[in-house]
């Protein structure tokens, strides 16, 4: 096992650890640890809400989850010698739940969770159809996950970090804040909001000197979206064996990682859509000097996904196009097309006994494939959602016989909080 350079004590909150991480992007957040090119090291990661979500049969915690506190990120890690314009090479050697802790109150201690976020608290991909908060808790047994809240399915995890990235330069941070503020200004009262502006309340800024806290907290970018530095991309295929090339914008790169998922469907559509957990990642880092110009990478990362993903031989696919539920035609609206494909899959699964909320949670958590299958055939884009058949306890293929039914069990808890 490589040396753990960012250990976390499961008995203490994220803010009480010996080495403090962060939950905002800012170039002035000092590195927590320095490593060298060629180093291999372990990093502990805390679940993104730092233990706020519980292993129980209530969704009140999902409804009231404190969005101003996320994400709890491990880092920043300074890579000695990295300069703006370089490419940072990150090899994901291993990733998993909290080691040797198969039970406990923290997600990652033998369990994780998926949440449909309420419309008033961030919403989800299908927030107009599912405006309330729901939760599913998943139990881990080896590489498999099952849930008392979504019975009748079992699948192998595709464990991955949802969030990795390098620190922005001052100029890049300024561009983020300006463009996102301009977007918010087009509809400032929208629920859910169009973007999340800097929020000093709840900002965790690592080892930043106290006299700098207010300034950096007022400027620091929220970690919710993906951006040019990587960020919260939630790419489920970045499993063990993945290599990633990140653009470097500041001296040392200041790389951070967090938001681990045991599994996730493409799109993370319930917003808290993977199986959220804490755990560890083993990393190897290197530098390609001048790599951004050499390979034409001005922004965003390049990926070589690992080859350790579970293999599924049969799939059932659902499609959607750019037509609203009310029958209005939209022009090549891929976002709408993917929504319609997901809704078709949910409607279909509900005929077997799962509630629509259970089906929605499943699409967020299981290794579902999502694709933009056609984006040029005016006026309709075509999006598709693929369900692996072998994760289901029953045969869900269409046929001439009786439709098999599952016992939905206790169902997915729904929040009553305001």
Do 146 and 219 share a structural domain?
yes
Same domain, 327 and 296: no
Is residue 121 in a domain? yes
Beta partners for residue 303, in sequence order: 244
What confidence tens digit (pLDDT) does each residue in 126-182 have?
A: 999 999 999 999 999 999 999 999 999 999 999 999 999 999 999 999 999 999 999
- What's the total number of domains in the chain? 2
Confidence (pLDDT) at 74: 99
Four-residue CA torsion sign, 112, 150, 339, 341 = positive
Q: Is 80 exceeded by the pLDDT of residue 417?
A: no
Residues 31 and 73 in one domain: yes
The answer to whether the CB of 73 falls within 8 A of the CB of 31 is no
pLDDT digits (tens, 9 = 90+) for 77-131: 999 999 999 999 999 999 999 999 999 999 999 999 999 999 999 999 999 999 9
411 part of a folded domain: no
Last residue of a domain, one of 250, 280, 304: 304
∠ Cα 70 370 54 (to 5°): 35
Residues 206 and 100 grouped into a single domain: yes
Residues 278-324 have pLDDT tens digits of 999 999 999 999 999 999 999 999 999 998 889 999 999 999 999 99
Residues 294 and 351 in one domain: no
CA 161/CA 145 separation, integer angstroms: 17
Say which CATH number the domain at 192 has.
2.60.120.580
Mean pLDDT of 321-342: 99
255 and 155 share one domain: yes
* Same-domain pairing of 296 and 321: no
Looking at residue 20, its pLDDT comes to 98
Domain hosting 96: range is: 4-304
Classify residue 273: in a domain, yes or no: yes
Q: What's the count of helices (H) and strands (E) in the chain, helices before strands?
A: 6, 22
Lowest mean pLDDT among 240-249, 263-272, 307-316, 385-394: 307-316
**pLDDT tens-digit series, residues 42-91:** 999 999 999 999 999 999 999 999 999 999 999 999 999 999 999 999 99
Question: Is residue 126 located within the same domain as residue 69?
Answer: yes
Percent share of the chain, pLDDT over 90? 98
Model pLDDT, residue 33: 99
Q: Taking 60 as the threshold, does the pLDDT of residue 418 lie above it? A: no
Dihedral, CA atoms, 262, 12, 53, 3, nearest 10 degrees? -10
pTM assigned to the model = 0.97
Task: Name the strand (E) or helix (H) holding 147.
Answer: strand 144-147
């Amino acid at each position: 096992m490589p040396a753990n350079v960012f250990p976390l004590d499961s008995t203490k909150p994220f803010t009480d650890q010996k080495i403090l991480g962060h939950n905002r992007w800012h170039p002035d957040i000092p590195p927590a640890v320095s490593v060298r090119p060629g180093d291999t090291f372990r990093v502990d990661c805390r679940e993104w809400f730092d233990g706020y979500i519980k292993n129980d049969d209530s969704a009140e915690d999902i409804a009231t989850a404190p969005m101003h506190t996320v994400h709890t990120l491990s880092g920043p890690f300074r890579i000695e010698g990295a300069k703006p314009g370089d490419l940072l090479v990150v090899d994901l050697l291993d990733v998993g739940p909290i080691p040797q802790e198969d039970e406990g109150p923290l997600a990652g201690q033998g369990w994780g969770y998926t949440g449909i976020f309420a419309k008033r608290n961030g919403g989800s991909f299908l927030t107009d159809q599912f405006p309330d908060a729901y939760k599913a808790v998943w139990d881990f047994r080896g590489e498999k996950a099952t849930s008392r809240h979504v019975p009748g399915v079992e699948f192998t995890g595709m464990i991955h970090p949802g969030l990795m990235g390098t620190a922005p330069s001052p100029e890049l941070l300024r561009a983020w804040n300006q463009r996102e503020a301009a977007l918010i200004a087009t509809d400032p009262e929208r629920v859910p909001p169009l973007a999340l502006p800097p929020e000093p309340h709840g900002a965790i800024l690592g080892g930043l000197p106290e006299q700098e806290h207010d300034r950096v907290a007022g400027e620091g970018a929220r970690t919710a979206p993906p951006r040019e530095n990587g960020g919260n991309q939630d790419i489920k295929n970045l499993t063990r064996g993945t290599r990633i090339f990140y653009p470097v914008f500041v001296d040392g790169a200041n790389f951070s990682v967090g938001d681990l998922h045991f599994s996730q469907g493409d799109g993370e559509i319930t917003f808290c859509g993977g199986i959220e957990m804490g755990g560890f990642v083993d990393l190897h880092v290197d530098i390609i000097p001048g790599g951004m110009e050499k390979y034409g990478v001005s922004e965003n990362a390049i990926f070589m996904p690992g080859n350790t993903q579970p293999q599924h031989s049969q799939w059932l696919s659902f499609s959607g196009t750019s037509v609203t539920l009310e029958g209005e035609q939209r022009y090549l609206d891929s976002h709408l097309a993917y929504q319609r494909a997901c809704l078709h899959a949910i409607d279909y699964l509900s005929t077997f006994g799962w509630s629509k909320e259970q089906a929605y949670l499943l699409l967020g958590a299981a290794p579902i494939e999502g694709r933009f299958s056609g984006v040029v055939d005016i006026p309709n884009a075509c999006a598709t959602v693929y369900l692996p058949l072998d994760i289901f306890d029953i045969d869900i293929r269409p046929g001439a016989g009786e439709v098999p039914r599952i016992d939905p069990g206790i169902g997915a808890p729904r929040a009553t909080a305001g």
